[in-house]
Structure formats: structure tokens, C-alpha cells
Amino acid sequence: MLPVSKDLIDAARGLVPADIVLRNARIFNPFTCTWEEGNLAVKDGRILGIGNYTGKEEQDLAGRYIVPGLIDAHVHIESSLLAPKEYARLVAMHGTTTVIADPHEIANVAGSKGLAFMLTEREGAAVDIRYMLPSCVPATPLDVGGAILEARDLEQFAGQEGVTGLGEMMNFPGVLAGDEEIGRKLALFPIRDGHAPFLSGNDLNAYILAGPDSDHECTNRAEAEEKLKKGMYIYIREGSTEHNIAELIAVVNPLTVSRCCFATDDCHADLLVHEGHIDRCIRTAVACGLAPELAIRMATLSAAERFGLADRGALTPGRRADFCVIDDPRRFEVKQVYRSGREIITGPATTPAPFHTTVQCIPPTIADIRISGAGTTRVIGLVPHQILTESLQVDIADTSIPDFNRDILKIVVCNRYGKNQRAVGLVHGFGFRRGAIACSISHDAHNIVAAGAGDAEICAAIEAVVKAGGAMAAIAGPIATVLPLDCAGLMSTLPYEEVAQRLGQLGEVTRTMGGIDDPFMYLSFLALTVIPALRITDRGVFDVAQFVDVPLFVKK
Amino acid sequence: MLPVSKDLIDAARGLVPADIVLRNARIFNPFTCTWEEGNLAVKDGRILGIGNYTGKEEQDLAGRYIVPGLIDAHVHIESSLLAPKEYARLVAMHGTTTVIADPHEIANVAGSKGLAFMLTEREGAAVDIRYMLPSCVPATPLDVGGAILEARDLEQFAGQEGVTGLGEMMNFPGVLAGDEEIGRKLALFPIRDGHAPFLSGNDLNAYILAGPDSDHECTNRAEAEEKLKKGMYIYIREGSTEHNIAELIAVVNPLTVSRCCFATDDCHADLLVHEGHIDRCIRTAVACGLAPELAIRMATLSAAERFGLADRGALTPGRRADFCVIDDPRRFEVKQVYRSGREIITGPATTPAPFHTTVQCIPPTIADIRISGAGTTRVIGLVPHQILTESLQVDIADTSIPDFNRDILKIVVCNRYGKNQRAVGLVHGFGFRRGAIACSISHDAHNIVAAGAGDAEICAAIEAVVKAGGAMAAIAGPIATVLPLDCAGLMSTLPYEEVAQRLGQLGEVTRTMGGIDDPFMYLSFLALTVIPALRITDRGVFDVAQFVDVPLFVKK
């Protein structure tokens, strides 16, 4: 640390003017969860204090409210489909000044190169992006994408500016089995996020003992209470698909609030644009009955303390001047945002540094995705509003696909890492009557996955994805609608406004296809081999219960 | 960090037996401030969890209460008059398992050698002694004792096992003046204790901005509330002479409890033996109306979190098995204490490593302490129950001292660092009719200070102190009663039981001298040049308001 300058001390004493004084504000105090009327003084990007100050620049807030900058305790930036700086430009306008991000997706695609890219992109971003290094790349030995990250790979990033700890340890079976490589990863960092849905009792004790001391996977109150009592920080999640605030907010009270934070985990750009970020979490929590002061405490000091960030989370002397001006604690509309003492004005769109292409794939021809024969086949059954699938068995003939009566369509997975490997399977539940969709996001290996009503459309959609260097593509007519995800096949290099707009267009096109809402969400999870029951990889159909590849035909 | 062993993980899962299981306990949970009925399992000195466990050793607690080991957030061990291991042996029996100690006194006497000694003595101690390095040695440029500790001296201890941060920054005028050497000291450590009595408003903002973020000097509620709101941790102090719980406990509530701790600061061995340590603070707080659960939270998790000690403060999986069994949360009588999973049984008395003698002084003769002449003299006036003094002026003749009618006695300060320098002054307020007392504790330089009714007794008392290599000595007849403080002239090498007994004997002797209660307490502060109004050093009488040495005689 550098000693604090005499100039700053003099300014805090009021002997020399501050840079900025915000007068007549109601300033949130997260230590007492009260509002204090006064003048907030800032200099050199740091809070001088609330008191009797004059500033080179002064602003009369006329009783408006100031809260510390909001903190997202756990997010995968890649899920927004935005590159980090563009993500930052977007969430900053919602009052966020710090995000704790786990670059799990790009790490699965590009390993250490992906991590290095994400660390570079934090420089100059509108909010402070801090990383928890992904602990489970790949998620399972059978789910290898573009990289394997071992403890020794992660170790090279330890201590780097912007690296805060170890990201969500999803491999809880491995933790409980005492896996040595996992132990080495956990021993690298004192701050270790957990991920242990439904884990309880002695096994939860063992998991916590091994190191992880947070969880953002709670879905019911009893689960959150047990984890809280056992010393875990609880990140209450409100993402694009996961909505846990309504159920979990009852665990937050004046005694527990210091151990509870908000997390968005996975949020698409359009949701962030239209509904907000952590400000949305606060509004939702308040709507569910939580006192605004407790919700704001969660979003500020509690998160800062959890990550050992003593320089933020409160507007007390010496901390970063990260804060936002809001209209009212209950409405919580963010009117102005300051980071390090400077007001954030929506800047011009940003472009990430060029990232080497990770989508190396020869698009299949119609012949390549042909199914031959007839008999009983394994069919992946979608479950509405779940990423679980059912394992169905259906009699088909190769000529009967697509089978619109029974809603059985083709699904294709193509390796995107230059291995000319692909597989074809069958899926029930999309309900498409025409067209096809394809995507280079498919957890966790992120191969290209496509499904559709016709072989030609499937091939065309995959080709559109490959051509864009990664994309979400929908075809329901002559022209493909494409959101290019040219950054690692996961994120767009477009401005967030345009990404949100293209997501809207993709939604419009898929709605004309006659199927379910949000088909890309389902599609992107159909290759995830850790979630029951039936999946498909670039090797073929995968039975999760037996944890083995299985043939498409049970019998021909 | 080392990875957690598979053996420990298996034990937490319940696959192999724990070392110890305490059955049918009511276990305190500081996260929720509730009690949980269950079985607490321990292995390898760590908590496995509360759950379904069997142990190699089992104990049925039949509903008794278990709380995490107690933590003292701020203490000067030297004030107990006990060497560190003996201090630890004593406080361990009161449920304390961690103390955060500032070795300010021995540092004033012996500098880095004193710090190194204290660090060595923590090894093998019954409780975990962690040090905050003394930030203000000497307290003022005019108060030099045996050492000066600069930032570069402290830097050598940074990162050493057992060094937690920077101790109380008492020199708040220096902090506010932007003193560069102070800035360098504050920049050495992220955890920095403050000491800022009555500091408020903009100046308090400036002090906090400079680094210190705790305070244990609050004496009124408004002061504590302001400091709490400004982000300071508040250590509520209950020592031998400072009693702040009754006034301050009202600031503790479910929202603020995570930022409030207990501290004893200065406690003599006899008080620790007869009334207790942090257990006494809890009892006192509860008697003042605080819920026992909040008091226990302060004494455990809050203190652990403040010092970044994530391995203790709660009985959750993986933390140190530091805890105590108590009869009842309100009575809070400590029945059993465990540290790192082993029950602490009062062990045999300990002896510190030999410490080089720091008491180098030729005792004065009666001729050496003679006052010559008559006229108006400066007299130090004691103020009952305060360490403040009054600056009096009294006409005397050399032959009239001791003046029992006006209660004016001689006070003598002898340099103990081998400089053959001594000074004689006059003091009002001891009330002695006979005898003398002398002591090698005199804040902060710790020269030998003596006062008494007769020159021969004063000389004999000083001689007894020198002969013992440091001591508290009282003479009211032919034989000196001596508590040897042969460890740096500050601490005894005797067992705590005997130290407490000798303190009792010293009290009996001084009571026969006809004067005030607790005369050693007053005596030990009369050389402290930072507290108004009149003081005495080995150079002579000192006027605090003018901050200069002054002659004894105003006019002869």
C-alpha cells in the first residue's frame, strides 16, 4: 500500500476544498442501515466523508438518495452475450460498479488464453470486473471442450490484479471423494465460491470443510438456512432463467444480512437492458417484502466484505467513491452513477481486443446428418422450464423425421475445435413446424448444436454459425437471422444495444417457427452431460445415469 | 495453504469416526445468533460439523451450552503483570482462546528485541496470542524510553506468523498533520487499530481516511455511534480501570453486532483471577441488558471477522475446534475449554525465556534525592479516579517535606536505561503517612518512579525495584514487599496465582500507609507526558500544556 497523501488528509479535515461535494443528500449507511442527511465530499476518487465541506464542484441533490455502488457477487459475463467492456458499459448504467465474474465459459473454450483475454478486457471497463478463476474446466472428464485447466494453470493467475479467488466448485462429488487435484485448486485461494445444489447434512459439512464457503444454488428456504448456519455466504440469485429471490428472501434479516448478497449468474443482454441488473434484484426483493435498507446492504457492504474488498461497499472516509444517486429507496431507479468519483456517462460502444477464432468446423452437408434405418430410438425429451431432460424411447423410420405429429426433430452437435466429429440425435419438445436454430453456446464444451424441422435448414443454420465465427442463428425462410458471437463463439463484439435488438429479432423468427418460447436456452443445455437424463455430444447420444455414450437406436 | 486431507473429508461425511463427539449439546450459531441442539464432531483439531457422528471419544453434555472460543480484540498483556504464557494459562480458564495483543509496553522498553521476545513466547501458549505491532514507540519525541520503533523496524515483522496488523495509532495529531513516518507505518498493514478519544466530525473523517478503522477509546454513546457509522469497528472496553460497557452497550443491535467486539485493554492479574476476562465482559454486557446471544457474537465471530481470522469465531466445518462449554448463556460460567480440539486443563506454571535485563540503574542515596531551598514549587496534584493531574503551586521549605498536613510528598523518577539521570518532584494526593512505593512500570518510558513519606523509604523502595530487575515494591516497615517484574521490568516470571497473591499483599501494605486506594495505578501514570497537566520525567518536572521541562521551583 501507498501512504495516504497529506493533501487528501487535509481535504478530509476540510482545510482544502474537495473535488466534488454532493449537498443535501440522503446517504445510505450500510453499517446501521439508516439514511443520513448531509453533504458527501469526494477527492481523488475517494470518499472524504459526510460533513462540513466545500468543493471545487458542487451539486445540490435536493434530498435525493445516495447508495454505494452495487456489486454482483457472481456472474458469468459470457452469458450476457456481451464482451466484458460492453457488459460493463451496460450494467454501469444500472448502478453497478463492481462485478465478481467467473469466466467459466471462455475457459472451457480457450483455457488460459481465455482467462488472459478476460483479464485484459477488464482494463478500461466502466465497472471494476474482478474474476474468480473457473475451478471446473472441464465440468467432467467426458465433457472436454477446448481446454483443461489444472491447478498449476490456475496458479499462474493467482495474485494478479483483478483475480479475487476460485470460482464455483461445481464438482461436489469430486470434493467429497477427496480428489487431490480439486484439493490443490482449493488450496490456491482463501476465497472460494461453492456450488452445491441440495447438498445437506454431513455431506454439506464435508464440502464446506474442504473449502468453498458460499453458495448461489439454493432454491428453497430450508436449504439456504442450513447453508447460512454452516457459515456459507448465500448469494441469492435472480438471473434470466433462475428466479430465487421470492423463495429465499425470507432468510435475510438484520442478523444474517451481512452474509447475504445478490447474484445474477446468467443474464442475457436483453434482460439487462429492459429490466436491469442488481437494481432489479433490489426492486424484486423489496417487492417480495424485504426492507429496502437490507436489500441495499446485501448489494453493497455485504458483497464487498465477502470478497475482502475493504475499499468499497460503504461511503465512509477513504473508500472508493463508487456510488449512485437514486430517486427513492423503494422504486430504486438509478439516476446517476459515479465510479472512483467520476460520473459515468454512457460512453460510446466498445470493441474487445481481437480474439483468435475458436470455431473451427466444416459445416455438415445434408448427407452428413442423415439417419439410416428404422427401429426404437432414444429421444431426448425437453422438460418445460427445466434444463433437465427425459430419456424417451420411440419407434421411428429414417423417413419419418421430422415427425410433426409426435414432435420429434433432429438435433445435431458438431465439434468446433477442429476435430471433424459430429453426431445426430432426436429431440422431443421444441415443437417447430418449420426452420432450424443453431448456436455455438452449448454448455460446457460449447460445440455447435442445432435442431430444426428440416435437414437443409439445420445445415444452413450451422453454416451461418461457422461463418460468423460463432453465433446464434435462426432460419425460417430464405435468410438467416444471426447474432454473431465472434468472440470465442460465446460473446458478441457488437454494442449491447444491437445485441439486445438482435436477440429480439431472433425471438421474432423463432416464434414464427411454431415452437416453444426461448428455444436457444433449451438448445444450449442439451449437450451438458452432468444434468439428467439424456444428452447429446459430438460423440453421439449420452446416458447421464450410466454416464456412458449410447447408440441412437436401441434396436433396429 | 495445504489441501484438506481425504481423511478429514471422510470424517466430516461420517464415513470414519471423529476424534471427539460432544453429544446432546446446545451449540451457539453466531451467524443466526441461535442455539442448535445436536452433536458436535471434532477431528485433527478442527470442527467437522454438527450432525450424525460417532467419535473415538464421546461425551454427553446433557443439554449444556457450547460457544466458540472467546476473543479479546485488544489487550496489552504487559498490563496483567504476567508473562505471555502465564497470561494465556490464566485467560484460557475463562474461555478465551485468542487474544489480539499490542506489546506496546515492552516495545517502549526494549524495541524490536521486546517484540521478538513476545513473538517467541506465543509458541506453546495455552491460547493463540496474535500481535498488533505497536505504532507509537515512543508516544512522543519527549517520552523516549528504551527504544524508538520506526516503520522500517516494524516492516521486519510484517508477514511473520502471529503478526496481525498495526496496533493502536495513538498519535492522532500526527495522523491529522499528515506525518510521513506515520503514513509509512499505516501503509505496512491492511489491519490497523485506532485510538482516537473524542475525535469527531471532519477530523475523525481524516483519521479514518488515513487508515485506522477501529476504536476502543469511546466513552460515550454518541461517540461510538459516530465512529460505527463511519466504518470503524468498536471494541467496547472493560478493563481494570476503564469501564465502558454500561455506557456503550446500547449501540449493539442485530445490525451493528458484526462490527462490535470486546476488549480488556489493561487488566491486572488479580482482576483476571477473581472476575474473569472476556467471560466477564459478556456477563457485564448481559447485566446491562444486552441479549446473551449478541454478547457472545461480539466475543466470537465479530472479533474473528475483524481480524480476518476466517478459521475461528464459529463452530462450522473446517474451523478450529476452539470452544467452551458453559452452564447457561446468562450466567456464563465457563466449565470446560477446548483449543484445537483438546481440552485445556490448567497446566503447570510456565516460565518465560530469559530476557536481558532492562533495569540498569544505580539506586539513589538519600543525598541524591534532596531538595534544597525554599519558595514556590510546582506540585503534581492527583485527581481521584483519573490519570489526569492538576498543576498546583505551593510554598515550601526543603525541611518541610514530607508535609503531612498539606499532603505533599516527594516523587522521584530514575532513568532505568543506564543513563545515570534522576529527578525529584512533589506530589499531592497520595495521602501516605508512612512508607514508600516504587515501580518500574511508568508509562510510556517505564523508568523507575517512586513516591513516599520518607526519603529513606523511597530509596529503599527504588533499591528493591532495581535489585529485583524491575518490580512493584512497597515499604512500610523494615521489610519491603515486592512483586518482581523481572521480565523487562514490566512482567513477572512468577505463576499467575502468586502474582495475584503478591498484588493482594502489596494492597495490604499500602493500606497501612494511610493513603489512597490503588496508589501504584496513579504512580505508574505520573511520568506520562501526553496527559494534562503536570508530570515528572527523569529530566524533571514537565508542563504538558507548554510541552516543556520546567523547574521545580517557580521562585526561590
- Tell me whether residue A555 is exposed, middle or buried, using C-beta atoms within 10 angstroms of its C-beta: 0 to 12, 13 to 18, 19 or more: exposed
Residues in chain A closer than 8 A to B317 (CB atoms): 205-206, 208-209, 230-231
Q: How confident is the model at residue A352 (pLDDT cuts 50, 70, 90)?
A: very high
CB-based contacts of A367, cutoff 8 Å, min separation 6? none
Residue in chain B nearest A39 by alpha carbon: B202
Distance CA A31, CA A38 (A): 17
pLDDT of A357 > 90? The answer is: no
Residues in chain A closer than 8 A to B201 (CB atoms): 51-52
Residue in chain B nearest A1 by alpha carbon: B187
Mean pLDDT, chain A, rounded, equals 96
- CA A378 vs. chain centroid, Å, equals 32
CB burial string A62-86: b at 16+ within 10 A, e below? eebbbbbbbbbbbbbbbbbbbbbbb
Distance CA A465, CA A422 (A): 15
Which has the closest alpha carbon to A338: A312, A303, A305?
A312
Q: Tens digit of pLDDT for each residue in B295-304? A: 999 999 999 9
Residues in chain B closer than 8 A to A52 (CB atoms): 201-202
Q: Which of A184, A205, A314 sits opposite B51 (nearest CB)?
A: A205
Q: Which of A49, A201, A253 sits opposite B205 (nearest CB)?
A: A49
Q: Which of B33, B52, B231 sits opposite A255 (nearest CB)?
A: B33
Q: Tens digit of pLDDT for each residue in A524-547? A: 999 998 889 999 999 999 999 998
Q: Do A12 and B310 touch (CB under 8 A)?
A: no
Average pLDDT rounded to a whole number, residues A411-434: 96
Instruction: Give the per-residue pLDDT at A369.
Output: 97
Distance CA B295, CA B70 (A): 11
DSSP for A72-101? Answer: EEEE-GGGGTB-HHHHHHHHHTTTEEEEEE
Cα dihedral B17, B23, B28, B31 sign: positive
By residue count, chain A amounts to: 556
Average pLDDT rounded to a whole number, residues A141-151: 89
**Set of cell numbers at residue B8:** 478429514
Q: How confident is the model at residue A142 (pLDDT cuts 50, 70, 90)?
A: confident
The answer to ipTM > 0.85 is yes
Q: Report the alpha-carbon angle B441-B442-B444, nearest 5.
A: 110
The model's pTM: 0.95
First CA to last CA across chain A, in angstroms? 71
Instruction: Give the per-residue pLDDT at A268.
Output: 94
Q: Tens digit of pLDDT for each residue in A36-48? A: 999 999 999 999 9
Q: Report the alpha-carbon angle A39-A45-A47, nearest 5.
A: 35
Residues in chain A closer than 8 A to B191 (CB atoms): none
Q: Which of A9, A176, A184 sits opposite B178 (nearest CB)?
A: A9
Q: How far is A227 from chain B (nearest CA, A)?
A: 10
Q: How far is B371 from chain A (nearest CA, A)?
A: 48
Q: Do B208 and A318 touch (CB under 8 A)?
A: yes
Q: Do B178 and A231 touch (CB under 8 A)?
A: no
Instruction: Give the per-residue pLDDT at B1.
Output: 84
Residues in chain A closer than 8 A to B211 (CB atoms): 4, 318
Mutant choice from B16, B42, B184, B209 vs A, greatest count of A C-beta within 10 A: B209
**Set of cell numbers at residue B27:** 451449540
Q: What is the DSSP letter of A477?
A: S
Give me Rg for the CA atoms of chain B: 25
- Tell me whether residue B459 is exposed, middle or buried, using C-beta atoms within 10 angstroms of its C-beta: 0 to 12, 13 to 18, 19 or more: buried
Q: Do A48 and B253 touch (CB under 8 A)?
A: no
Residues in chain B predicted with pLDDT less than 70, given as ranges, are none
**Set of cell numbers at residue B126:** 495455552
Secondary structure in 3-state letters for A27-79: EEECCCCEEEEEEEEEECCEEEEECCCCEEEEEECCCCEEEECEEEEEECHHH
Q: Tens digit of pLDDT for each residue in A114-130? A: 999 999 999 999 999 99
Rounded to whole angstroms, the maximal C-alpha distance in chain A is 88
Residue in chain A nearest B313 by alpha carbon: A231
